[in-house]
């Protein structure tokens, strides 16, 4: 355990000094990719809080979009700082999460049905954003109004390194929440509910309270991730922040990494983003669609051949080897 802890500490130090490693012109780009990995890993981690207990949401784009658009609209139209905008957005998202999760739990909507209900919710948010085009710019998206200078109030900085540290902090906070949930009583309760709802209720577990609670937590964190992404890119778009596409991408990354482990979502997100970026750079503007084609093909192959996810599979292999090593 101390070995793992030392390794973790070493990794943290490496991440802390990473923006100052002199790698010349590639630095800006590398930082850009890393910021994206942190933010989307955070969002993936938020999704896995629900996903690991069998609540497979295919509509996290709803929470992502609601969060990002609320804070952006409040800033653009009322000049409200995104810090307060984030509070409002997260409160709103929590409300939406309750509206979705409460009836789902009361009417025992689980499995495929839960996935399809959340998918519909994601589409509703995307379509509403497009329909309210006077405010939101419709499918063209919306640019976060520039403050004109570096401003902590507006969360806008010319130097990407500031965003790097903010995103790193966000990612670590996400891991912390994951560990807290993992070690809590709620985890055992949620696992029991995931296995058999009726049996869980019969031993006194308040099924609805736990389900709604974990959904709200997951949704609020997802909204925070959406706001962070909107602030970093300073642009919001209904197709990249709401709807099926982004919802599926989040789930993909997590399942690819493995949703039952702390670093699974991060490994999966890092791989999918790195892969997408690599293919994008490789093909450039020459073969439009080729990068995504290979991406889709690899996803299918990964899911068929590594069903426990990459990180999960590696952990299983290591875990299997360790006892024999001790025995020998």
Partner 1 sequence: MIEPVFLAEAAVNGLLLGGVLALLALGLNLIFGVIDIVWIAYVDLVMICMYAVYFVVQVYGWPIWVGGLASVALGALLGVLVHLLIITPILTSAPVNQLLATGGLLFFLQSFATFLWTTDHRSVRLALPRLELFDMPISVARLIAFALSILAMLGLYLFLSRTYIGTAIRAVSQDREAMALMGANPQRVYLVTSAVGGAMAGVAAALLIIQYAVHPFFGAAFGPITFMICVLGGLGNMVGAFVASFIMSEVIAVSGVIWSTEMGYVIAFVVFIVMIFVRPGGILAKRG
What is the contact surface with partner 1 in residues (CB under 8 A)? 51, 56, 58, 103-104, 106-109, 111-113, 115-117, 119-121, 123-124, 127-128, 130-131, 244-245, 248, 251-252, 255, 287-293, 295-297, 299-300, 303-304, 307
> Residue 64 CB, nearest distance to partner 1 (Å)?
17
> Residue 247 CB, nearest distance to partner 1 (Å)?
10
One-letter-per-residue 3-state SS of 250-295: HHHHHHHHCCCCCCHHHHHHHHHHHHHHHHHHHHCCCCCCHHHHHH
Residue (235 or 283) nearer to partner 1, CB: 283
Distance between CA atoms of residues 56 and 54, nearest Å: 6
Closest CA to 240 of 89, 94, 36, 32: 36
SS3 for 142? strand
Residue (69 or 75) nearer to partner 1, CB: 69
Closest CA to 147 of 202, 194, 81, 57: 81
> Residue 314 CB, nearest distance to partner 1 (Å)?
18
> Residue 137 CB, nearest distance to partner 1 (Å)?
14
Query: With contact defined as beta carbons under 8 Å apart, do 253 and 268 qualify?
Result: yes
Residue (29 or 107) nearer to partner 1, CB: 107
Distance between CA atoms of residues 263 and 257, nearest Å: 8
Residue (226 or 312) nearer to partner 1, CB: 312
Residue (83 or 107) nearer to partner 1, CB: 107
> Residue 21 CB, nearest distance to partner 1 (Å)?
34
């Amino acid at each position: 355990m101390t070995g793992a802890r030392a390794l973790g500490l070493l990794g943290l130090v490496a991440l802390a000094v990473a923006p100052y490693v002199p790698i010349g012109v590639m630095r800006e780009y590398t930082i850009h990719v890393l910021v994206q990995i942190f933010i989307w890993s955070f969002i993936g981690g938020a999704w896995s809080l629900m996903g690991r207990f069998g609540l497979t949401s295919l509509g996290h784009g709803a929470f992502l979009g609601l969060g990002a658009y609320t804070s952006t609209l409040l800033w653009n139209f009322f000049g409200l700082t995104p810090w307060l905008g984030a509070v409002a957005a997260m409160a709103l998202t929590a409300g939406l999460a309750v509206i979705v999760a409460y009836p789902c739990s009361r009417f025992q909507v689980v499995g495929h049905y839960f996935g399809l209900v959340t998918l519909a919710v994601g589409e509703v948010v995307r379509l509403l954003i497009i329909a309210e085009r006077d405010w939101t710019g419709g499918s063209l998206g919306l640019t976060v109004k520039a403050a004109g200078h570096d401003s902590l109030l507006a969360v806008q900085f010319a130097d990407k390194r500031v965003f790097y540290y903010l995103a790193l902090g966000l990612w670590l906070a996400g891991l912390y929440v994951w560990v807290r949930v993992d070690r809590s009583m709620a985890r055992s309760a949620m696992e029991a509910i995931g296995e058999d709802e009726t049996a869980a209720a019969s031993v006194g577990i308040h099924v609805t309270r736990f389900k709604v609670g974990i959904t709200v937590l997951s949704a609020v964190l997802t909204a925070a991730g959406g706001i962070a992404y909107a602030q970093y890119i300073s642009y919001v778009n209904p197709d990249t922040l709401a709807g099926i596409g982004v919802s599926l991408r989040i789930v993909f990354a997590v399942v690819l990494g493995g949703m039952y482990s702390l670093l699974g979502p991060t490994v999966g997100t890092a791989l999918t983003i790195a892969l997408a970026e690599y293919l994008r750079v490789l093909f450039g503007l020459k073969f439009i669609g080729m990068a995504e084609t290979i991406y889709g093909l690899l996803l299918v192959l990964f899911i068929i051949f590594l069903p426990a996810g990459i990180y999960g599979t590696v952990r299983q292999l290591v875990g299997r080897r360790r006892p024999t090593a001790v025995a020998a």
